[in-house]
Amino acid sequence: MKRISLTGFVAAMLFALTLTVYAQETSVALIPQDRNKEDWWKNRFVEKVEQMKKGDIDLLLIGDSITHGWEGHKQIWDKFYADRKTLNFGFSGDRTEHVLWRLDNAPMDAIHPKAITIMIGTNNIGHGSSQPKDAADGVLAIVQKLQKLYPDAKIFVLYVFPRDEKPDGRLRAKVNEINAYLPKLLANLNNVVLVDIGYLFLQEDGTLPKSIMPDSLHPNDDGYVVWGNAVEPFLKPIFEK
C-alpha cells in the first residue's frame, strides 16, 4: 500500500478546494456549455461546422435567435448579406456560455472574417441563468476569444436589443443594465466597436411597438430592415476596400 505524504495530501486538498471555490465564484455565463442534447441545436452546429470548413467567409454574425432569425427573412438577408460571404452563427436560445462553447469547438481557424457582429445576452437574463453583470462579462469573454482568433478583424458588438413592450418592463430594465456595463468592459479593446441601434426600434415614449417586434423580443421584416440599414454604415467601408 502506497503512503501519501502529509505535504502531498495537503496540496491535493488545497487544489480541490481551489477548484470548488472557482466553480462557485465563476458565473455560468463564462463557463462554455453545449446544448448537444437538443437534436436541432447539434444538427445546426454540424451544419455550420461544414460551412466553416469550406472557408471563404468574410462576415461572421454571432448571436442567439434574433441573429438566427435572419434566415427566416431571405429577401432582406439577400439585400444586405448574400454578396458578402456571410456565415450566420446565430443559434436560437443561446446564452453567452453556449457561444463560448461553439467558439471552442468549431473550426474557427478555417475562416478569416474581415468583420464580425455580436449580439448576445438577452437569454442570460430572460432564462434567469445570469445576472446582467454576468451576461456582460460573458460578452466580454466572447470578444476576447474572437480577438485572439482574428486580431485583424473588426468586431462590432451590438447593444442587446430592447425587449418588453413598456420601458419600465422587468426584462427591459435588465437589458438596459447589461448594456450599461458594456462601454467600460469593452473600452480600449483593439478593433472593437460598440454599436447602439436598439433605440431605433422604439417609439418616442420608449414603447417597443408590435409593428417592429410582435412578441416584444424578435424583429419582424420591418425590424430586420431597420437592423440591416443601421449597421450598413459600419460594414460598407470594410467591404468596399
Contact call for residues 129 and 95 (beta carbons, < 8 A): yes
Buried b / exposed e over 105-122, threshold 16 CB at 10 Å, is ebebeebebbbbbbbbbb
Q: Which residue from 132, 134, 120 is spatially nearest to 171, judged by alpha carbons?
A: 132
- 168, with CB counted inside 10 A (0-12, 13-18, 19+), is exposed
- 65 is a catalytic site residue: yes
- 215 is a catalytic site residue: yes
Phi then psi dihedrals of residue 85, to 5 deg: 50, 60
Contact call for residues 95 and 130 (beta carbons, < 8 A): yes
Of the residues 34, 58, 65, 112, which is catalytic?
Answer: 65
Of the residues 78, 109, 152, 215, which is catalytic?
Answer: 215
In the structure grid, which three cell numbers stand for residue 30, read together?
463564462
Active site residues: 65, 215, 218
